[in-house]
Structure 1
């Protein structure tokens, strides 16, 4: 007799305001399996998970948990049935301590007195985090931690609920390699204990390393389910995008020109010291290093978003006075930040406002915004970047992650940048949109733009960079040419082996 699935979803349909988001989707999860759920941004993965966990009601179809049909009206009901979710968007409350975040809504109390068993909560918090290989003070304010450590708190909180099914949505997006290794070790332990995992990620290497089966959605429809052992990268990509994607990274044929940006002796006490590098016209300089090494902080200092204690920045040989991002933008330097939702976009605003907000000069006459110029620029950028949208008036928060990232790119293309800094440009972006972003980068360099790309994904660094700068503990330890670099050399430099 075949094993009963822990979760069974059949013939699921869901629409919003006449737009059909899911059409006849099937998904099942067996006890003790790690099941990947994949698809391009906008394929319907998040909607399917929200139906499973009671955030949305399905229009049609059947959802069974442990053999019983369910109609959850909220996530708490799903949690009571043993289903926990680690969301891509962090639910950490920054001013609360680590322990308070861990036990939020399920505090341990002394009988019916209302007094909290604080010592016990701190001990359990420490134990849960140590299970993931992390040592964090439970009394520390969560907002003081890195995004990666905040993510580990979310993971520990889900693990501590003794769930039978844990849904992980892009769990490694902000984690270091060491943290990812610890997480995978825990996932394997959970699988052995019979816990099921739904693993949502755009990182193909992780899917093939950790998952047993994979289900693929495309444009809100079920494409198929495969055993990981019986498929490969090329087949999964074709199922996701409906076509052959070709090479993962486009060819780079640009010959870098004159020095465009030069940084000399940049320092900020306690963060980084003596950072010097050059980027040439038409070049992509990749910046690699472990999380917390100082990569983002260095780039923020170049852009004027973080103060520096010393150092000089030159553009086309001219020394710049960059004390604020407005100074950098005026000189033609753009910065696509690591956190698009918090720093790159105003989510409730329309595409139009988001794309034009850095481009006042280009869309104004005598200090007043020209509606005609703004519409013309935004429509041109939407078309150029192939943003999947109903039009410039659509709110950015309703777009998929990949299309949100394209809006951020569009915001900076509008200033006709001389230098563009990209911090984790494809984080949370599906494989098809990734390639489109890489092609945009190539087009920019063909037009003479100098690009600095910070990335935690070594295949991306190796696939797109002309040279690779490696940062370790606030120091730039080496710059490798593309033809001499490989993953081993980069990791040796990043961890102190070189």
Structure 2
């Protein structure tokens, strides 16, 4: 039996072959046999449809290729059973398809596969049966071909799923953010839009369309080639990160693990990092003040952790994401830019994050929500804009945000 865990364990500065044979390099008289190692590595990758050079460095790979190399590594031991833990949780749909094809190849060789995922469309593509677990117990095993998705979700949550349409809009007339003719070549050509107070605005687009670059341009992480950013009618000129934070703009990055959290620090330190002075006395952090401030955020966002100082890296993906959002709630940010906030979290956590966004909007926050999962946008957004070919092409307004029409607008011309 071999396992591919959700958190990848590749060494970026080593080659594909070296990673595949990590810790068990083939040797002769104490000397590593690189030619034999690369030949075996090439054969393992070919079984998954990968045409990569075994001498290529792992740091040059795409996220999907990282995942496929992890899978190729477990195949070297000729296992009879392979367990894949959320192998596509951090991948967009197009990349996930490559992993799905690899899983089908494994099964076709007679290897049994246990595939752990919260993506029902993937389960339906590759599985014959699905076992539902909740709170550490097996609830039921169902025939995938006969089971209704709503019933499976009910078994997962222990109740009916959340509403399938967004709540009534609480957006007000006041414009809090304006993006005017922003260019960030080669991704963004001339992007303009406005965000109102209390509005949840979705940005849809294919992988590589420039959605992340747009959010980073607004926050000042990337320098604009052209255009203006206005906050509350004020032209901020060339935005830079510190200035945008002072103006009440908060940003949660797409890569939660590497850019959103410090895994070994506690929930408290990760949450309060935007304003340690508020929980300090005479320049010294107060343990009591930190505990009280963190507990308020944990209760507000329903963050599950044993203690306020529990290392954030030990929490589930959904709770980690809520900590990242909680950091900006603690900072009283009025404008939140959320880049893939539900990536890699389970169905229940997704519903909780949707509810958090809607509650923050009701409290007067304005939110830009970027997601690769088109079906999410109608559930949460007041409006959705389509980013394609460097410009915003189409606008959809609730309650008429149709996911099929959104997807068609995203892929038009591709």
**TM-score, scaled relative to structure 2:** 0.88
How many positions carry a matched residue from both structures? 413
Aligned: 1:427 with 2:343:
yes
Is contact 1:467–1:479 with CA below 8 Å preserved after alignment?
Answer: no
Deviates more, 1:161-170 or 1:479-488: 479-488
Residue 86 of structure 2, aligned match among 145, 170, 176: 170
* Alignment gaps of 5+ in structure 1: 1-82
1:421 Cα shift? Answer: 1.0
* Alignment gaps of 5+ in structure 2: none
Q: How does 1:356-371 map to 2 (within 5 A)?
A: 356-360=272-276, 362-363=278-279, 369=285
1:230-275 Cα deviation digits (max 9, x unpaired): 4322322232232223425552432453322122233334444333
Q: Find the residue that maps to 1:413 and give its secondary structure.
A: helix
Q: Find the residue that maps to 1:153 and give its secondary structure.
A: helix
Aligned: 1:464 with 2:402:
no
Aligned: 1:96 with 2:14:
yes
Is contact 1:267–1:275 with CA below 8 Å preserved after alignment?
Answer: yes
1:356 Cα shift? Answer: 0.7
Q: How does 1:65-464 map to 2 (within 5 A)?
A: 83-108=1-26, 111-112=28-29, 114-118=31-35, 121-122=37-38, 125=41, 128-129=44-45, 132-248=48-164, 250-321=166-237, 324-360=240-276, 362-363=278-279, 369=285, 373-464=289-380
Cα distance in structure 2, aligned partners of 1:212 and 1:486: 30
Q: Find the residue that maps to 2:142 and give its secondary structure.
A: strand
Is contact 1:322–1:328 with CA below 8 Å preserved after alignment?
Answer: no
1:406 Cα shift? Answer: 1.6
Cα distance in structure 2, aligned partners of 1:261 and 1:366: 36
1:415-471 Cα deviation digits (max 9, x unpaired): 111110111111222212211111110011112211111111111123222222333
Cα distance in structure 2, aligned partners of 1:144 and 1:189: 25
Aligned: 1:476 with 2:391:
yes
1:337-362 Cα deviation digits (max 9, x unpaired): 22222221222222211111113354
Cα distance in structure 2, aligned partners of 1:129 and 1:313: 46
1:123–1:197 distance in 2 versus 1, CA, 3 Å:
same
Cα distance in structure 1, aligned partners of 2:52 and 2:223: 28
**TM-score, scaled relative to structure 1:** 0.75
1:179 Cα shift? Answer: 2.9
Is contact 1:175–1:291 with CA below 8 Å preserved after alignment?
Answer: no
1:125 Cα shift? Answer: 4.6
1:390–1:307 distance in 2 versus 1, CA, 3 Å:
same
1:370 Cα shift? Answer: 5.6
Is contact 1:287–1:469 with CA below 8 Å preserved after alignment?
Answer: yes
1:295-336 Cα deviation digits (max 9, x unpaired): 222212222223333332111111225654332221111111
Is contact 2:165–2:378 with CA below 8 Å preserved after alignment?
Answer: no
